[in-house]
Structure 1
Amino acid sequence: MLYEQFGRTELHSRLPESGTEIRLTAYARPRSGLLADGGERWAVLILPGGGYQVTAPTEGEPVALAFLNAGIQAFVLDYSVLPARWPQQLLEAAAALAFIRRNAEKYGVRPDRIAVCGFSAGGHLAGCLANLWGDGVIHETLGLAPGEARPDAAILCYPVVTAGAYAIRECFTRLTGMEKLPPELEKLSLEESVTAKNPPTFLWSTDMDATVPVENTMLYAWALRRKGVSVETHIYNRGPHAMGIATAESAGTAEYTDERAATWQPLAASWLKTLH
Structure 2
Amino acid sequence: MLYREFGPAELHPGLTAGEGVRLRAYCREHTGLLADDGKRWAVLILPGGAYRRLAPAESEPVALAFLAAGIQAFVLDYSVLPRRWPQPLLETAAAVAFLRSHAAEYGFRADRVAVCGFSAGGHLAGYLSGRWEDPAIGAALGLTPDQVRPDAAVLGYPVVHLAALLEEIGAPEALRLDRQVRPGHPPVFLWATVRDATVPVENTLDYARALRAAEVPFELHLFADGPHAMGLADRESARDEDHCNAHAAAWHPLCVDWLKGR
Question: Smaller-chain TM-score range?
Answer: over 0.9
1:114 aligns with 2:123: no
1:209 aligns with 2:196: yes
Structure 2 unaligned regions, length at least 5: none
2:89 partner amino acid? L
What are the Cα deviations for residues 74-126 of structure 1, in whole angstroms up to 9, with x where unaligned? Answer: 00000000011111111000001111111000111100000000000000000
Alignment of 1:179-198 (within 5 A): 181=172, 186=174, 188-198=175-185
User: What is the aligned partner in structure 1 of residue 39 from structure 2?
Assistant: 40
Structure 1 counterpart SS, 2:169: helix
Equivalent pairs counted in the alignment come to 262
Separation in 2, partners of 1:146, 1:74: 22
CA contact (8 A) 2:193 2:227 kept: yes
User: What is the aligned partner in structure 2 of residue 24 from structure 1?
Assistant: 23
Separation in 2, partners of 1:236, 1:261: 6
CA contact (8 A) 1:53 1:174 kept: no
Alignment of 1:67-216 (within 5 A): 67-162=66-161, 167=162, 169-176=163-170, 181=172, 186=174, 188-216=175-203
Separation in 1, partners of 2:34, 2:114: 22
Structure 1 unaligned regions, length at least 5: none
Aligned-pair CA distance for 1:17: 3.5
Structure 2 counterpart SS, 1:111: strand
Taking structure 2 as the reference length, the TM-score comes to 0.98
2:128 partner amino acid? L
Aligned-pair CA distance for 1:262: 0.1
Taking structure 1 as the reference length, the TM-score comes to 0.93
CA contact (8 A) 2:9 2:17 kept: no
Separation in 2, partners of 1:155, 1:112: 16
Equivalent pairs: percent with the same residue?
A: 57
Separation in 2, partners of 1:4, 1:243: 26
What are the Cα deviations for residues 144-167 of structure 1, in whole angstroms up to 9, with x where unaligned? Answer: 0100000000000000001xxxx2
> Runs (4+) of structure 1 moved beyond 4 Å?
none
Structure 1 counterpart SS, 2:116: strand
Separation in 1, partners of 2:168, 2:99: 28
